[in-house]
Amino acid sequence: MTEKRYFWIKLQMDFWKSPVVKMLRKPSGGDTYAVIYLEMILLSLENNGYIYYSGVGDSFAEEIALVLDEETINVEFVLAFLKQKRLIEFSDDTSFKFTEDVTADLVGSESASARRVRAYRKRQKTIASEQKALQCNTDETNRNLDIDIDKEKDIDNNIRSFSDENDQVTSEKSVSKEHHSVHKSTKKELDDRFESLWTLYPRKVGKQKARKYYERAVKNGTSDEVIRKGIESYNREIQVQGTQTNFIQHGATWFGNAGWENEYNFEPPKRNNNQRQLIQKEKLPDWAKNAGKKQPSNSIMSRAERAKAEATIDELLRRV
């Protein structure tokens, strides 16, 4: 079973002063637009940045408005604004995803390496505490023991014997280490090994940078097998999640961030069911409670109202 990963939204100190947010807040009702923007990011977290349209509302904007308890026209404006500024991308008529410009700055998750560092520090702290206690016990023991001359001789002999054995083991290890370090990979060998890994990576962008990151990882002790398994895991996640090509990390980015240390999600994304659970039955309009039936004409905007709403959105976008 895949270990659960936790995500969060982190606001930079200058978030409210950023050009995009300031432009979003500029028109009348701008604070509401900014709140809707953050609510939509939260809504997308459980689906890897995607928001899906399940068909409950007459439009994508109306369905999101139902989920967030916001006005449809306000959600329409935010969607139009984000699309205009290329902060969201529609995969089709039933889903869209926030771009990396948004998720890279606001959305974060705990990596496997961060958890290992915390565990390592905890172990080191425990070892230091045990060594301190052991040292105290040793000092107390030395004060209370009265060793006679014969025992000291026996101890000296044992120490010499142990030292000789230890020197022999150390020598054998040294010889073994020298044996393994005799062969140092040449540039051509490293190039060939990198090429075999590069052919497996799904989005081959930034090859030269990726090659430098690979060589650095090898020098730090990372094996080709570990990197290969990391690429295979990432390929599997892409296939299971149905990740669009433009959302796959560039090769240089993946190698630079040591992507083989990441934990990947092999569970298919949850789409419609989770969206429907968020919508409380009592908050649905009358037409939505009669699933499968033709919607009455008085439950949706008239053509005049729709035209007026679109004109309002266009006017707000021109002001922005």
Q: Does 2 map to a domain?
A: no
pLDDT level of residue 217 (50, 70, 90 thresholds): very high
Last residue of a domain, one of 181, 205, 228: 181
Model confidence at 95: pLDDT above 70: yes
Domain interval for residue 249: 187-261
Confidence of residue 111 (pLDDT cuts 50, 70, 90): low
Q: Which of 233, 261, 289 is the last residue of a domain?
A: 261
Q: Give the C-alpha separation, 43 to 278, whole Å.
A: 10
Query: How far is 260 from 254, CA to CA, in rounded Å?
Result: 8
The more confidently predicted of residues 223 and 113 is 223
**20 within some domain:** yes
* pLDDT at residue 144 in the model: 59
Q: Is residue 156 domain-shared with residue 93, that is, in the same domain?
A: no
Question: How many domains does the chain fold into?
Answer: 3
**Structural domain includes residue 1:** no
Q: Quick one: 18 and 72 in the same domain?
A: yes
Lowest mean pLDDT among 22-31, 125-134, 167-176, 250-259: 167-176
**What percent of the chain lies above the pLDDT cut of 70?**
67
Residue 122 in any domain: the answer is: yes
- 94 and 15 within one domain: yes
- Domain closes at, from 261, 288, 309: 261
pLDDT of residue 299: 46
User: Same domain, yes or no, for 254 and 287?
Assistant: no
Task: Indicate the range of 12-16, 84-88, 99-103, 176-180 predicted with least confidence.
Answer: 176-180
* Contact residues for 107 (Cβ-Cβ < 8 A; gap 6+): 7, 8, 9, 10, 41, 45, 49, 98
Per-residue confidence (pLDDT) for residue 279, from 0 to 100: 46
- Neighbouring residues of 123: CB distance < 8 A, sequence distance ≥ 6: none
Round to whole Å and give the CA distance between 137 and 133.
6
- Predicted confidence (pLDDT) at residue 1 exceeds the cutoff of 50: no
* DSSP code at position 121: H
- Are 172 and 196 contained in the same domain? no
Asked if the structure places residue 273 within a domain, the reply is yes
Claim to verify: residue 289 and residue 231 sit in the same structural domain = no
pLDDT band at 175 (very low <50, low <70, confident <90, very high): very low
Helix, coil or strand: residue 9: strand
Concatenated DSSP letters for 187-229?
HHHHHHHHHHHHTT-SS---HHHHHHHHHHHHHTT--HHHHHH
What's the pLDDT at 148?
58
Q: Are residues 95 and 41 in the same domain?
A: yes
Confidence of residue 27 (pLDDT cuts 50, 70, 90): confident
Nearest-angstrom CA–CA distance, 79 and 73: 10
Q: Confidence band (pLDDT; 50, 70, 90) for 3?
A: low
**What pTM does this model have?**
0.38
Q: Which residue has the higher pLDDT, 10 or 41?
A: 41
Place of tokens 């959302």: 247
In a domain, 300, yes or no: yes
pLDDT at 277 over 80: no
Tell whether 204 and 291 lie within a shared domain: no
Apex 125 CA angle, 120 and 128, nearest 5: 125
- The answer to whether 81 and 33 have CB atoms below 8 angstroms apart is yes
